[in-house]
A and B are shown apart, each in its own frame.
Chain A
Amino acid sequence: MLYASGRFLAARAATTLHAPPRARGPALRGKRRELQIPGHLETPSYDSLTGLRTRSSAPPARRVVLRKGRMPPAIGSSHAGSELRLRRGRCAPQASRAGGRDKVPQVAARSLKRPAWSSWRFETAGWWATLAVVTLLSFATRFHRLDQPAHICWDETHFGKMGSYYINRTFFFDVHPPLGKMLIGLAGYLTGYDGTFLFQKPGDSYEHHNYMGMRGFCAFLGSWLIPFAYLTVLDLSKSFPAALLTAALLTFDTGCLTLSQYILLDPILMFFIMAAMLSMVKYNSCANRPFSAPWWFWLSLTGINLAGALGVKFVGLFIILQVGLNTISDLWYLFGDLSLSLVTVGKHLTARILCLIVLPLVLYMTIFAVHVMILNKSGPGDGFFSSAFQARLSGNSLHNASVPEHLAYGSVITVKNLRMAIGYLHSHRHLYPEGIGALQQQVTTYLHKDYNNLWIIKKHNSNTDPLDPSFPVEFVRHGDIIRLEHKETTRNLHSHYHEAPLTRKHLQVTGYGINGTGDSNDFWRIEVVNRKFGNRIKVLRSRIRFIHLVTGCVLGSSGKILPKWGWEQLEVTCTPYLKETANSIWNIEEHINPKLPNISLDVLQPSFSEILLESHMVMIWGNNGLKPKDNEFTSKPWHWPINYQGLHFSGANDTDFRVYLLGNPVVWWLNLVSIALYLLSGSTIAIALQRGVQLPAELEGLTRVLLRGGGQLLLGWMLHYFPFFLMGRILYFHHYFPAMLFSTMLTGVLWDTLLRLCAWGLASSPLGSRIHVMGILSLLLATAYSFYLFHPLAYGMIGPLAQEPESPMAGLRWLESWDF
């Protein structure tokens, strides 16, 4: 197959690309032709990015050459000025076929009419055939034993559950945007899963539930990664072996395989990332025909995929960044092209704003709109959101509720902290343990609704029952001195000069007194933020603060989780720092007062933009809250590229069916070596070019691929990897996989180019001509063999652990930290 493909490549080079005739150029029909005309090579003319570097080759003629490059006869319809892109000569493969038809007569027809025609047909056939084989192989590996194991693996417990929530339309909270889970839910729904499975914990058997639809969907998307990578590399390097090598590395990587086989967000995320990358590369190569149909198609497809990537996980931001950088440099060169009028440049800019900013944004918001429309029932995530938000959810106590509008003495209320995910002011019949402040009743905040969240608002100086019908209703006003009595335990909200349990600089807040009788430390001044004194206090809408009368501190929640003795609820303190943070601002949520007329809460309905904003605040808060503990082993970003340690997807003991997420070490270590090699060779070439070294025409094509194409891939790898070093949240091995895709593509490009360089360097010796084919072949075989060795990691192993000599995986535990 490879040999054939090599020929196809050569044929293409000879016909469609106007490759310069080589000095030693033998007859094109010669047997060794495929190796003598590397597929990369194109005329040196169509470079402008590297224009500075090509200066040395022919300084006086440069301008002319560039002009020629901008409007080559082969693609007459090309728009002037896109010299940047033209150095690729060809657009998408489809475009190449279209263009090729024109070129053939011009360039090669005179001497090679028949062979050119047949080789062109051969090329197309070969092109489709290899793509089909690659895709088929990819699908075959991903779908092989997809139903195994028939129990919940690893995070399927979360994402399967969330898929079920969509089917059941129950509201929940998650730290990722909704698209991935919505798609999982949709896949389940379409394949007949009814959302009744509980997804309680990993290892639970699926029994009769239909889980294959959801797994199949993820595997389907995961399978597309390989054709996408194949096409991307083909486009960047114009080299068939490079693309094939990339495809093989990815197909035979056990990590990618494992990650694609389960109900997870990662295959969906990676699908969108790769699709965005592919369409970006495609649209880059369409740059010679701006505003043509394919150009628009690829540009808007890039935007759509960006929205998809961001809609699955915030990691999608990195690919957005990459596309953004690419677009900026693109526009910069267009802008610098003086043959383009400013109007044209403006059109370019507008097109990109439309397709890469407006379109994704609209799609992203649509996703959210669908999300909030589907999830209209109250569920486990309510407490994370504000009162207004909850009023939307049917089944929630605030839904279609009606409450008295203004706060009055004697009302029974719940008090909610304004910061997301802090919860309600809460107390219960447990005391602070000895040694932690005064031995009084605990006051905490609690995220869930509970009768212990109820407080009665009373006057500070009288204990008469304000609900007595003989008294007139008296409203609470801004600046009043009040007392908050806990309804269940009849203790007053109290603070004093003792340090708070966790935040040592704040004061402790307790429940104190019996039947509402306490001391002067129970008095609080109620204030509405940014309002005048004397105003009434509105339920839900007034933002209020409680200021302790004696010490002058402000009631707040630190957001820290109390230890076991506090039931892992959140700490409530009285902070002496009078700064206005959301932690110390509260609102009244539930409000019961039989003496007052109720009003409907429909006025509360938040607008869509408010919903959007709040959801994102809560998600960001949730992400930041995922902090690792000190004494736990956590995965560090530097572990990842060296494949230091995997993840148990299923089982850990020797009797279990074990699936272990671990990269194929051969592939991963090759990637690692390749990055180092790339940096070395790339910087050497860059310095050589900067020093004005004149490269032979053949090498120029190779170096361009290495610097431009490889550079884009390296940038992708860096953007998807380095930000993790800055993240404080808990990290897992699987976070590396998007970066790994880029790194694998880089490996493909690098080795192909290096081997071609070797072949060029050794051209005189007989070895030279074969080194490229041999090199690529041996890499392919080595990868395939390593996959044969390590495939049980992905498809599941039973039996003794690898350290036992009788294990089927014996001898494969190359690192002590691997645990399978």
Chain B
Amino acid sequence: MGSHSAGLEETLGVLPSLLFCKMLRFFKRPLVVTADINLNLVALTGLGLLTRLWQLCYPRAVVFDEVYYGQYISFYMKRMFFLDDSGPPFGHMLLALGGYLGGFDGNFLWNRIGAEYSSNVPVWSLRLLPALAGALSVPMSYQIVLELHFSHCTAMGAALLMLIENSLITQSRLMLLESLLIFFNLLAVLSYLKFFNSQKHSPFSPHWWLWLMLTGVSCSCAIGIKYMGIFTYLLVLSIAAVHAWNLIGDQTLSNICVFGHVIARAVALLVIPAFLYLLFFYVHLMLLYRSGPHDQIMSSAFQASLEGGLARITQGQPLEVAFGSQVTLRNVFGKPLPCWLHSHKNTYPMIYENGRGSSHQQQVTCYPFKDINNWWIIKDPGRHQLVVNNPPRPVRHGDIIQLVHGMTTRLLNTHDVAAPLSPHSQEVSCYIDYNISMPAQNLWKLDIVNRESSQDTWKTILSEVRFVHVNTSAVLKLSGAHLPDWGFRQLEVVGEKSRGPHESMAWNVEEHRYGTSQEQKERELELHSPTQVDISKNLSFMARFSEVQWKMLTLKNEDSEHKYSSTPLEWVTLDTNIAYWLHPRTSAQIHLLGNIVIWVSASLATVAYTLLFFWYLLRRRRSICDLPEDAWSHWVLAGALGTGGWALNYLPFFLMERTLFLYHYLPALTFQILLLPIVLQHVSDHLCRSQLQRNVFSALVVAWYSSACHVSNMLRPLTYGDTSLSPGELQALRWKDSWDILIRKY
């Protein structure tokens, strides 16, 4: 490449005359551009693009999980807030980027698999990014094997296996995240290897920095797409840690130098990923500023920070709750349902089904819908008035208050009566004076949980408060149980002696206004009228981030069964498949189905590697070195990446309790595929003793690869879904009984 570095000299402060001389000299030489083009790489990229991009728009219908991701893309297009517990937002945003570039307006109803796309959906550009990622994985695996110091032939082998693996093709041709994940996984590994290989000759060179930074960036991108990315991140981190530890032990380096190395790695592999992860969420929350379908799950403060929705209602409420304020109280925990403290004229039944008695006072429940009966008035026990003074007298932490139910003007009360469904807790009621022996116990002490000082005032939306009963020190709590018919299946509210702070004991004021009406009739009218005045609330990014993150991690998906769900044990032997799509009329169909030859031989290679590794290791321990030192270290590094990557991406699934699918195995599979040709080369180089054996082995490998190609070709109709096979042909493809291939009966 020609150098235009003359300009740089200037900055060094060299005399202009000298510069002139240099320029002259520069022009004396011809401008030469030399480029190394590895035709292997070009060819592989070309083939990758061909297999992944061919007929990308087909089928022009919703395929399998596109039905979910498509929804999220639409939300991005419409800027509506949503919460997806399956992973961080970077992957969704990448998909949405495709939609944005294709000019998608978000107007499509993603309601069922197989629905035809309307003309406004830019299918090609939506599917483009995953397909590109899938295509680029092919040349990248070539380079990874090269960087591991194995031969070009081996590297080609790895890339060709990636190229023809049917499951990878299927997965990257659709609006799904796995191919993006695999792309960044491989990129992380590749850039770490490049970085590691440049460590010896040129530490701290721009080249070195580039690959180091890229490692961190691609790790965080992988995590940003799916939490599964963490496994590859851990792999890279632990390999880097071992290398760094060896570096520390290198006594030819000065302390300063070692310190620099360690710091550089820490910044690139720890700080940058953390920062980028936050950045993804920042962009995500910036993009989604409108209220959307999942608002209810979020806290009032979060909802108020979104445009529309709750913000429209709470806009302009007074901030500080004062004596006489009219409020609705939302439970902070919100499980099993988000709900508001509620009461109504009905009383607890005298005798429950199981024979226990109640106080027969007015029910207090938690109600999951907005309702006029959710309004409560904060009253000073010392005074009778239910209006706000001028100036308002704010309620502070530790104040004793009474809560008056707006519509029935009864006081919130609890007493030593067993609650209807949680007998170990106290019943909470609105007190009715029946002239019986049970006196009113309606004083509550306000305890602001997230206070900064003990003098804090009670703030709308922002404060999370607990109501501690003065007589019994029980705390008002949502028990999580649904009342029976007599309680209209609303949620039970109880008083529980505190066993520890729990979010189900915390409440926050959602809607709020200063009450002004003296008379009950007037007040009822006032309660029906909308709120007024104006203060806007802005939540900091970190608060919003931590809430979204926390909700993502704790949200439980009840659905634990799916027709195509599978267990990790079925993946290794490819005992399962997923039907992605079926043509509405013909029997053309798309399946996630791997190339069985590759799957089986990759697993065998992993086993072979492990056995060989332990064999060598034991022999080395007895000082018998079968491999030269160099070959041994390459062999170990390759195995650490291949087997380690496979194990880290696969074994944790045994501990997971969520619904699992075959596609969860694909990242692990790529690592196995990388290892497969490496093991083959090792066998040929070190275990075949004569040239003859080597030739025979090569012939076998060629035969094996052609069979893989053949299988890949046979499964092609199920991968692309472009040809409609006859029932007989489909039946013939059902090599395993457990494969679920759809055969039309007509």
A563 in contact with B482 (CB, 8 Å): yes
> A503 near B: Cβ within 8 Å?
yes
Q: For the complex, is B149 an interface residue (Cβ under 8 Å from A)?
A: no
Q: Given the complex, which residues of A lie within 8 Å of B657, measured CB to CB?
A: 728
- Evaluate whether A338 and B484 lie within 8 angstroms (CB atoms) in the complex, with A630-B336, A652-B497, A692-B251 already known: no
Among B248, B478, B563, which residue has its beta carbon within 8 angstroms of that of A631?
Answer: B478
Q: Of the candidates A631, A728, A817, which one forms a contact with B500 in the assembled complex, judged by CB atoms under 8 Å apart?
A: A817
The smallest C-beta distance from A102 to any residue of chain B, in angstroms, reads 34
Asked if A687 is at the interface (CB within 8 A of a chain B CB), the reply is yes
* A31 interfacial by beta-carbon distance below 8 Å: no
Taking a contact as CB atoms under 8 Å apart, the answer to whether A630 and B480 are in contact is: yes
Please, what's the 1-or-0 string for B491-531, where 1 marks a CB less than 8 Å from any CB in chain A? 00000011111101000000000000000000000000000
Within the assembled complex, what's the spacing in Å between the Cα atoms of A83 and B480? 62
CA distance A593 to B497 in the complex (A): 57
Knowing A335-B622, A630-B335, the reply to whether A505 touches B561 (Cβ < 8 A) is yes
Give the CA-CA distance A608 to B737 in the complex, in Å.
Answer: 35
Are A631 and B559 within 8 A (Cβ)? no
* A504: chain B residues within 8 A (beta carbon): 559
Q: What are 19 A-B contacts with C-beta separation under 8 Å?
A: A332-B621, A335-B618, A342-B622, A504-B559, A564-B353, A564-B484, A630-B335, A630-B504, A631-B333, A631-B478, A631-B480, A632-B480, A633-B502, A687-B248, A691-B248, A691-B251, A692-B249, A692-B251, A728-B657
How many angstroms from the CA of A819 to the CA of B473 in the assembled complex? 12
For the complex, is B255 an interface residue (Cβ under 8 Å from A)?
yes
- Going nearest first, the 5 A-B pairs with the smallest beta carbon separation are A631-B480, A633-B500, A631-B504, A633-B502, A630-B335
Q: A633 and B499: CB pair below 8 A?
A: yes
For residue A577, CB closer than 8 A to chain B, the reply is yes
Say if the beta carbon of B258 comes within 8 Å of chain A: yes
Most chain B beta-carbon contacts within 10 A, residue among A332, A342, A691: A691
Contact A819/B502 with A336-B621, A577-B561, A687-B248 known, Cβ cut-off 8 Å: no
> Separation in Å of the B563 CB from the closest CB of chain A?
6
Counting CB contacts under 8 A, is B21 at the interface?
Answer: no
A728 and B258 alpha carbons, distance in the complex (Å): 43
9 more CB-based (< 8 A) A-B contacts, given A565-B484, A577-B561 = A335-B618, A335-B621, A342-B622, A505-B559, A631-B478, A652-B497, A691-B248, A817-B500, A819-B499
Q: Which residue of B lies closest to A687 (CB)?
A: B248
Q: Are A632 and B559 in contact (CB under 8 A)?
A: no
Q: Tell whether B54 is near chain A: CB-to-CB under 8 Å.
A: no
Nearest-CB residue, chain B, relative to A577:
B563
Which of chain B's residues have a CB closer than 8 A to the CB of A564? 353, 421, 484
Report how far A819 CA is from B501 CA in the complex, Å: 12
Which residues does chain B contribute within 8 Å of A690, judged by CB atoms?
A: 245, 248-249
Scan residues 776-820 of chain A and give those whose CB is less than 8 A from a CB of chain B: 817, 819
Interface residues in A331-352 (C-beta closer than 8 Å to B): 332, 335-336, 338, 342
Contacts of B479 in A (CB 8 A): 631
Shortest Cβ distance from A653 into B: residue: B497
Contacts A503-B561, A817-B500 given: A338-B480 contact, CB under 8 Å? Answer: no
Interface string of B606-640 (1 = CB under 8 A from A): 00000000000010011100000000000000000
Q: A335-B621, A336-B622, A691-B258 are in contact. Are A631 and B497 (CB under 8 A)?
A: no
Contacts of A575 in B (CB 8 A): 561
Report the minimum CB–CB distance from A732 to chain B (whole Å): 12
Contact with A along B240-270 (1 / 0, CB 8 A): 0000010011010001001000000000000
* Residues of A bordering B, CB below 8 Å: 332, 335-336, 338, 342, 433, 503-505, 563-565, 575-577, 629-633, 645, 652, 687, 690-692, 726, 728, 817, 819
Residue of B nearest to A52 (CB): B249
A505 to B438, CA, bound (A): 48
Query: Within 8 Å of chain A (Cβ to Cβ): is B12?
Result: no
Q: Which residues in B have some Cβ–Cβ distance to A below 8 Å?
A: 245, 248-249, 251, 255, 258, 333, 335-336, 353, 421, 477-480, 482, 484-485, 497-502, 504, 559, 561, 563, 618, 621-623, 655, 657
Contacts of A819 in B (CB 8 A): 498-499
CB neighbours (8 Å) of A692 from chain B are 249, 251
Which residue in chain B gives the minimum CB-CB distance to A726? B655
Residues in chain A near residue B255, CB distance under 8 A: 691
When chains A and B are docked, how far (Å) is the Cα of A645 from the Cα of B502?
13
Q: CB-nearest residue of chain B relative to A689?
A: B249
Using CB atoms, name the residue of chain B closest to A53: B249
Q: Could you say which residues of chain B place their CB within 8 Å of the CB of A332? A: 621
Which chain B residues border A577 with CB–CB below 8 Å? 561, 563
Residues of A within 8 A of B559 (CB): 504-505
**Nearest Cβ in chain B — how far from A647, in angstroms?**
10
When chains A and B are docked, how far (Å) is the Cα of A268 from the Cα of B657? 32
A645 CB contacts on chain B under 8 angstroms: 499-500
- How many angstroms from the CA of A335 to the CA of B622 in the assembled complex? 7
CA distance in complex: A687, B336 (Å): 50
* Bound CA–CA A629/B333 (angstroms): 13
List, in ascending order, chain A residues with CB within 8 A of B335's CB.
630-631
Partner of B623, one of A338, A632, A687: A338
Give the residues in chain A near B499, CB-CB below 8 Å: 633, 645, 819
Smallest beta-carbon distance B337→chain A, Å: 11
The answer for the CA separation of A692 and B255 in the assembled complex, in Å, is 11
* Distance A257 CA – B228 CA, assembled complex (angstroms): 44
Partner among A503, A505, A629 whose Cβ is within 8 Å of the Cβ of B480: A629
Q: How far is the CB of A563 from chain B (nearest CB, A)?
A: 7
Query: A122 vs B25: C-alpha distance in the bound complex, in angstroms?
Result: 91
Interface centre among B479, B484, B485, B561 (most CB of A within 10 A): B561
Report chain A residues within 8 Å CB of B248: 687, 690-691
In the complex, how many angstroms separate the beta carbon of A529 from the nearest chain B beta carbon? 15
Give the shortest distance, in Å, between A632 (CB) and chain B (any CB). Answer: 7
Chain A nearest Cβ from B95, distance in angstroms: 27
From A576, which residue of chain B is reached at the shortest CB distance? B563
Taking the nearest CB of chain B, how far is it from the CB of A415, in angstroms?
23
Q: How far is the CB of A674 from chain B (nearest CB, A)?
A: 25
- Docked pose: A342 CA to B623 CA in angstroms: 13
| Chain B residues in 8 Å Cβ range of A563 | 482
- For the complex, what is the distance from the CA of A433 to the CA of B485, rounded to whole Å? 10
| Shortest CB distance A57–B (Å) | 14
Q: B621 to chain A: which residues have CB within 8 Å?
A: 332, 335-336
- Give B487 Cβ to nearest chain A Cβ, in Å: 12
**How far does the Cβ of B16 sit from chain A's closest Cβ, in whole Å?**
49
Complex Cα–Cα for A332 and B621 (A)? 8
For B485, B497, B499, B622, which residue has the most chain A Cβ atoms within 10 angstroms? B499
Q: How far is the CB of A334 from chain B (nearest CB, A)?
A: 10
Min C-beta distance of B611 to chain A, whole Å: 18
Complexed CA–CA distance, A691 and B258 (Å): 10
Interface centre among B249, B421, B477, by most A CB within 10 Å?
B249
Which residues of B lie under 8 Å from residue A629 when comparing CB positions? 480
- Give B500's nearest chain A residue, CB to CB: A633
Q: How far is the CB of A804 from chain B (nearest CB, A)?
A: 12
CB nearest neighbor in B for A564: B484
Report the separation of the CA atoms of residues A692 and B253 in the bound assembly, to the nearest whole angstrom. 12
Chain A residues closer than 8 Å to B622, beta-carbon distance? 335-336, 338, 342
**Interchain CA distance A690-B242 in the complex, whole Å:** 12
Q: Which residues of A contact B258 (CB under 8 A)?
A: 691
Instruction: List the B residue with the shortest CB-CB distance to A630.
Output: B335
Smallest Cβ-Cβ distance to A434: which chain B residue: B485
Cα of A433 to Cα of B483 in the assembled complex, Å: 13
Residue of B nearest to A345 (CB): B622
List A contacts of B561 (CB < 8 A). Answer: 503, 505, 575, 577
Cβ of B501: which chain A residues have Cβ within 8 Å of it?
A: 633, 817
Chain A residues with Cβ under 8 A from B618's Cβ? 335
Closest to B479 in A: A631
Contact B249 A631, beta carbon cutoff 8 Å = no
The complex places the Cα of A598 from the Cα of B347 at a distance, in Å, of: 59
**Chain A min CB distance to B29 (Å):** 48
| Minimal Cβ-Cβ distance residue in B for A565 | B484
Q: Please measure, in the bound complex, the distance between the C-alpha atom of A175 and the C-alpha atom of B542, giving whole angstroms.
A: 43
Residue in A closest to B484 when the chains form the complex, CB atoms: A564
